[in-house]
A and B are shown apart, each in its own frame.
Chain A
Amino acid sequence: MKKVEESSIAVAIGAKLARVQVFPMYPITPSTHIQEQIAEYVNSGELEAELIDVESEHSALSAAVGAVAAGSRTFTATSSQGFALMFEVLPIASGMRLPIVMAVANRALSAPINIWNDHSDSVSARDQGWIQLYVESGQEALDTTIQAFKIAEDKNVLLPVMVNLDGFSLTHVFEEIDEPEQKEVDAFLPAYKPEHFLDVKNPKTFGPIAFPDSYMEFKKQQQDAMIKSLETIKKVNSEFAKKFGRPYGNGLIDTYKMADAKFAIIAMGTVCGTARVVVDELRKKGKKAGLIKLRCLRPFPTEDLLRATKGLKALGVIDRHVSLGFEGPLFADLKAVLNSNLKMAGFIAGLGGRDVSMKHLHKVFSEIEKAKPKGSWLL
């Protein structure tokens, strides 16, 4: 059913259609509309789920750990400082291999305090064993929330998934969305039936202490599962596309006019929408411009990126976060894996809600067309 909805509501619809059973939450701007909407669904009886209004984000993710460990499909949402307070539990959730799904309404970290969008919250947690997906539109937010459960709960994966959407510039934007039928979502995403859960009939110990002789094996298995999940993410994306008619690239990356592109931008989230328009403008002028939308930051789709950048002359990398004292983390990752003949420049953009305008992106393209492009902050 088509309607116009705020993207936060689209996420809530996704969670409802996924038949989330437990929803621990603590409100924080700009994720609040997601939480309010799910609370509304629960209290109106539209969604049969347990709502836990916890006393902090630390407890929100902790309660989610407890709920998934007890065998229920669990969802939560947060932003920025709340995300930072959860940080301790992030690697525990992934280390215990619990398929929690969490929406992150990306927002800058304090100080100075700022409630607007950048990626400094989630990107600074990229090493904590969560699959990180970044979405561009309300529709993609809805669809990815449903996909996230299927990816997380896959027996070969069993990892938590973060669905990242830009605070305000996506969470508070109204767009046309197509709400899938519950019946079809049920067929795509069956009920959560875990193999391992807290069961008095079959007692198991969760969260033991591992000494130096076994800790590394745990981490190795986690790493293997992360790498393997690349395939699962692709598979889930194509299954979803088949059923609902909406593909998001190959699930890991989405490309725009890359077939013959010589110069391209790579970015995550809403910036990609702006970049598409810029690419079109440049194409009209006869320039072979293109866009790579990175949908999955972790696990890192190295192979797909190598394929997508084949034949490319130069790549401009947009980071909405900076690893202070170094450079944009995505830029650093790409330099490590891409062909060394490819010219690359890193741009720090849109921190703390600063607009990333078409002018900015034109500047990026004209920079990477130079013989020796130089990265910069798009102030």
Chain B
Amino acid sequence: MTEEKPNEKIAGINSEELFASGHRACAGCGEALTLRHVMKAAGRNTIVVAATGCMEVVSTPYPQTAWGVPFIHVAFENAAAIASGIDAALRMQKKRDGINLLAIGGDGSSFDIGFGALSGALERGHKFTYVCTDNEAYMNCLALSSLILTKDGLKKITEVKKGDLVYAFNQNSHELVLKKCSGIFDNGKKEVFELNTLHHEIKATSNHPFLTVEKKGSGKQNSLVWKTLAELKKGDQIIALKNNGSGKSFSFQKIKLAKKGDFKVNKLNEIKLPLISSPDLMEFFGIFLGDGWIRLSRGEIGFALPEGKRARERLLMLQERLFGLKPRLDKNYVYFNSVNLARFIDSLGGFNKPAKQKTVSGWVFTLPADEKEAFVRGLMLSDGYKTGNSSRIVSASFELLKTTRLLLQTMGYRVGKIHKQKKAKGTHCVYRPLLKDCEYGYVCFSEHDDWNIEKYKSQYKYQNFLIGNMFFETEKIQSIKSIGIEPTLDLRVEGEHNFIADGIVVHNTGVQRSGATPMLANTTTSPAGKKVHGKIEPKKPLPLIVASHGIRYVATVSISNFNDLQNKMQKAFAAEGPSFIIAYCPCPVGWYHDFSQAINLARLAVQTRVFPLYEIENGVLSFNQKIETPKPLKDYTLLQGRFKHLSEEEIARMQEYVNARYEFLMGIEGKKAFDVLH
């Protein structure tokens, strides 16, 4: 760790990454980008103190760390106090010279809860640089999820544990094998590509290996080689999963059954719950997933199946065979009443969810072929139809379509992409008129053509290297395109270094108002309601308050201006006594803007005068980029969901406010506006 590397510079910026990639920040995170560049300016001889916030969460998930320098995180409001202690300790040990002491806090910890500690440390004149990463609200963090095919069914990549059995492709026998997962590692944030074949798509990084067919020319035996995504091109054949073979019937876990006399249970239609899965049961579930619902409190299982629909007859028959309950029927619906059946279905995960969140539970992937077929049959009966050889399943739940598509891919079907459609109220969709405008998706699938392998063996073998293989097939690459930077995880699989995954990244967040939240912005604690339209108060002028402490260097920086940021960090580190930097950090998940727009928004904030770039050196303010003809505020606000509720008048009010703040700064420009005490 201690070896000194030559300090290579690219366009004046240190090439060394001391805030390493591989941290778990969101794509397009302004804060992570700021830290990366702040660390480039800081260099190795730096001690970092971070306040609680997104950054310590994404950069230090034990036992990993993204920090190439000594780093300490303690609590939300005390980064400046911790820095005070370190400054004193280093001075005491006569090690203070040559070390940059950097305290980092978000806007919540700098403007609000930690303001006292910041003010105290500034007043005491500690030698440290405080960087406030300002994303204008209290933000939380993200989670990763990606679906992996394991012995126990489909699992999120974050749920796969070392030792789990994962499906893999055996390169010698060309068979589907189960292999032990020997490790999971965080691959960091990388450029991710989407590779498309006719029936599959997968997201992967450029160095991710794919198994491809290498053609050796006519008359010669083709072979399989691993190639990285970067080496692949359109037309190459890759190996894709066709079928994961036949599994075992699923043994259901025992659930807590209701008994007669339980609270609120006045009638119990006793039934025998199945212990293991069967084709009939899976077909019943298929129909349920399409058209069913449960009201647990009433012990009701309902189906939206109108009279005359084929699924209705089939459902009644299956139910009779499985449970023998007495149905209640009306023109549009079928109801069964059984508290325990309702509880049973609810316990199976994924089935009993609101229409848009329904999904195929992981265990379905482990079933025998006939049970999976029955399940798809049930789903087709309720939510599908056939045109010619092609079958189509329609749903408002894209999660359901995604998981169904993966299920079909394990069953030997040729499966198309998920298509999105919007339909107006009244149009027919799967034989029924829509009650309101809606967006839904569909996925098409069909059976593989039969090939006469016996007769044309060698001919087909050349066309399709894996002809006759039960589990895998070759597919031609149709396109490879970059889809941006995303966090990635990878698994290590014993023996076979491959596994079967799709790759989807989702996120969630919380956004609460801070003292730094701009006027009229919508946050979860200053919601844009009918009566109050977001945050009422203006943003606290923290840089000016900090400058009033009499410190020698205060500056604003933006990720849209890297060189300016570098210069200012150098000045801050060189300043006598404390120095303060406020960095403007767009937050895609908190500002509700597109992940690709972080730098653009930061630039627009400068160009619209929302976030002017200036520095206050020895009490004198100067602009680094004077905005003579500002862009209209709307250019900036329209890109962000947090401002979408604003009326023209409100935007005009904001514009006025922005103008007034800029004019104030212009008024003190070049003058000794702040006394210097340190």
- Give Cα A96–Cα B56 distance, bound, in whole angstroms: 15
- Give Cα A62–Cα B277 distance, bound, in whole angstroms: 58
Could you tell me the distance in whole angstroms from the C-beta of A320 to the nearest C-beta in chain B? 30
Query: Would you give the 0/1 interface string for A76-107, flagging 1 where the beta carbon is closer than 8 Å to chain B?
Result: 00000000000011001000100000000000
Residues of A within 8 A of B245 (CB): none
Query: Is B2's CB under 8 angstroms from A52's CB?
Result: no
- Give Cα A70–Cα B72 distance, bound, in whole angstroms: 10
21 pairs of residues in contact across A and B, judged by CB atoms under 8 Å: A50-B92, A52-B84, A52-B124, A56-B117, A59-B78, A59-B116, A63-B84, A65-B82, A66-B86, A67-B85, A70-B86, A72-B88, A198-B47, A198-B86, A203-B68, A203-B71, A205-B70, A205-B71, A207-B60, A208-B61, A214-B63
Closest to A93 in B: B74
Query: Would you give the 0/1 interface string for A36-77, flagging 1 where the beta carbon is closer than 8 Å to chain B?
Result: 000000000000111011111011101111111111101000
Kindly identify which residue among A59, A198, A199 contacts B120, using a CB–CB cutoff of 8 Å. Answer: A59
Is A370 among interface residues, defined by CB-CB distance under 8 A?
Answer: no
Query: Is B78's CB under 8 angstroms from A89's CB?
Result: yes
Could you tell me the distance in whole angstroms from the C-beta of B578 to the nearest C-beta in chain A? 14
- Give Cα A199–Cα B47 distance, bound, in whole angstroms: 8
Is B297 among interface residues, defined by CB-CB distance under 8 A?
Answer: no
Closest to A64 in B: B85
Query: Is B71's CB under 8 angstroms from A209's CB?
Result: no
- Give Cα A345–Cα B203 distance, bound, in whole angstroms: 69
Is A326 among interface residues, defined by CB-CB distance under 8 A?
Answer: no
Could you tell me the distance in whole angstroms from the C-beta of A153 to the nearest C-beta in chain B? 15
Closest to A58 in B: B78
Known: A22-B85, A202-B1, A208-B61. 19 other contacts (CB 8 A): A21-B89, A21-B93, A24-B84, A54-B124, A55-B123, A58-B78, A59-B80, A60-B81, A63-B81, A64-B85, A66-B74, A72-B88, A72-B93, A89-B78, A92-B74, A96-B74, A206-B70, A206-B71, A209-B57
Is B440 among interface residues, defined by CB-CB distance under 8 A?
Answer: no
Q: How many residues of A contact B (CB 8 A)?
A: 45
Residues of A within 8 A of B431 (CB): none
Which 10 interchain pairs have the tightest Cβ spacing? A66-B85, A55-B120, A63-B85, A208-B60, A59-B81, A62-B81, A50-B88, A67-B85, A72-B89, A70-B89
Is B69 among interface residues, defined by CB-CB distance under 8 A?
Answer: yes
Question: Are A200 and B60 CB-contacts (below 8 A) given A58-B78, A67-B85?
Answer: no
Is A204 among interface residues, defined by CB-CB distance under 8 A?
Answer: yes
- Near A by CB (< 8 A), chain B positions 168-203 give none
Is B489 among interface residues, defined by CB-CB distance under 8 A?
Answer: no
Is A201 among interface residues, defined by CB-CB distance under 8 A?
Answer: yes
Could you tell me the distance in whole angstroms from the C-beta of A111 to the nearest C-beta in chain B? 23
Is B62 among interface residues, defined by CB-CB distance under 8 A?
Answer: yes
Query: Would you give the 0/1 interface string for A199-226, flagging 1 where the beta carbon is closer than 8 Å to chain B?
Result: 1111111111111001000000000000
Residue from the set A49, A74, A200 with the largest chain B CB neighbour count within 10 Å: A200
Query: Is A24's CB under 8 angstroms from B86's CB?
Result: no
- Near A by CB (< 8 A), chain B positions 479-511 give none
Query: Is B89's CB under 8 angstroms from A208's CB?
Result: no
- Give Cα A64–Cα B88 distance, bound, in whole angstroms: 10
Could you tell me the distance in whole angstroms from the C-beta of A72 to the nearest C-beta in chain B? 4
Residues of B within 8 A of A207 (CB): 56, 60, 72-74
Is B49 among interface residues, defined by CB-CB distance under 8 A?
Answer: yes
Kindly identify which residue among A24, A96, A199 contacts B85, using a CB–CB cutoff of 8 Å. Answer: A24
Is B596 among interface residues, defined by CB-CB distance under 8 A?
Answer: no
Could you tell me the distance in whole angstroms from the C-beta of A158 to the nearest C-beta in chain B? 16
Is B44 among interface residues, defined by CB-CB distance under 8 A?
Answer: yes
Residues of A within 8 A of B72 (CB): 66, 69, 198, 205-207
Is B206 among interface residues, defined by CB-CB distance under 8 A?
Answer: no
Residue from the set A63, A65, A88, A208 with the largest chain B CB neighbour count within 10 Å: A63
Question: Are A209 and B61 CB-contacts (below 8 A) given A58-B117, A66-B83, A89-B75?
Answer: yes
Residues of B within 8 A of A92 (CB): 74-75
- Give Cα A69–Cα B70 distance, bound, in whole angstroms: 10
- Give Cα A121–Cα B37 distance, bound, in whole angstroms: 45
Query: Would you give the 0/1 interface string for B367-409, flagging 1 where the beta carbon is closer than 8 Å to chain A?
Result: 0000000000000000000000000000000000000000000
Is B45 among interface residues, defined by CB-CB distance under 8 A?
Answer: yes
- Give Cα A55–Cα B93 distance, bound, in whole angstroms: 24
Listed in ascending order, the chain B residues whose CB lies under 8 Å from chain A are 1-2, 44-47, 49, 56-57, 60-63, 65, 67-75, 77-78, 80-86, 88-93, 99, 116-117, 119-121, 123-124
Could you tell me the distance in whole angstroms from the C-beta of A194 to the nearest C-beta in chain B? 11
Query: Is A209's CB under 8 angstroms from B88's CB?
Result: no
Kindly identify which residue among B47, B73, B86 contacts A67, using a CB–CB cutoff of 8 Å. Answer: B86
Closest to B43 in A: A200
Could you tell me the distance in whole angstroms from the C-beta of B328 to the nearest C-beta in chain A? 45
Could you tell me the distance in whole angstroms from the C-beta of A41 to the nearest C-beta in chain B? 14
Query: Is A203's CB under 8 angstroms from B67's CB?
Result: yes
Residues of B within 8 A of A55 (CB): 116-117, 119-120, 123
Residues of B within 8 A of A68 (CB): 85, 89
Query: Is B78's CB under 8 angstroms from A69's CB?
Result: no
Query: Is A56's CB under 8 angstroms from B61's CB?
Result: no
Query: Is A88's CB under 8 angstroms from B91's CB?
Result: no
Kindly identify which residue among B56, B63, B70, B82 contacts A63, using a CB–CB cutoff of 8 Å. Answer: B82
Query: Is B88's CB under 8 angstroms from A22's CB?
Result: yes
- Give Cα A24–Cα B120 distance, bound, in whole angstroms: 12
Query: Is B47's CB under 8 angstroms from A70's CB?
Result: yes
Question: Are A50 and B81 CB-contacts (below 8 A) given A70-B47, A200-B45, A207-B56?
Answer: no
Could you tell me the distance in whole angstroms from the C-beta of B336 to the nearest C-beta in chain A? 39
Query: Is A22's CB under 8 angstroms from B92's CB?
Result: yes
Could you tell me the distance in whole angstroms from the C-beta of A85 to the nearest C-beta in chain B? 11
Closest to A59 in B: B81
- Give Cα A181–Cα B441 distance, bound, in whole angstroms: 84
Closest to A198 in B: B70
- Give Cα A96–Cα B75 distance, bound, in whole angstroms: 12
Residues of B within 8 A of A70 (CB): 47, 85-86, 89-90, 93
- Give Cα A50–Cα B1 distance, bound, in whole angstroms: 30
Query: Is B62's CB under 8 angstroms from A208's CB?
Result: yes
- Give Cα A69–Cα B119 distance, bound, in whole angstroms: 22
Residues of B within 8 A of A52 (CB): 84-85, 88, 124
Closest to A26 in B: B120
Query: Is A58's CB under 8 angstroms from B77's CB?
Result: yes
Residues of A within 8 A of B47 (CB): 70, 198, 200
Question: Are A66 and B75 CB-contacts (below 8 A) given A56-B116, A200-B99?
Answer: no
- Near B by CB (< 8 A), chain A positions 240-268 give none
Residues of B within 8 A of A72 (CB): 88-89, 92-93
Could you tell me the distance in whole angstroms from the C-beta of B552 to the nearest C-beta in chain A? 20
Could you tell me the distance in whole angstroms from the C-beta of A350 to the nearest C-beta in chain B? 34
Could you tell me the distance in whole angstroms from the C-beta of A84 to the nearest C-beta in chain B? 15
Query: Is B62's CB under 8 angstroms from A65's CB?
Result: no
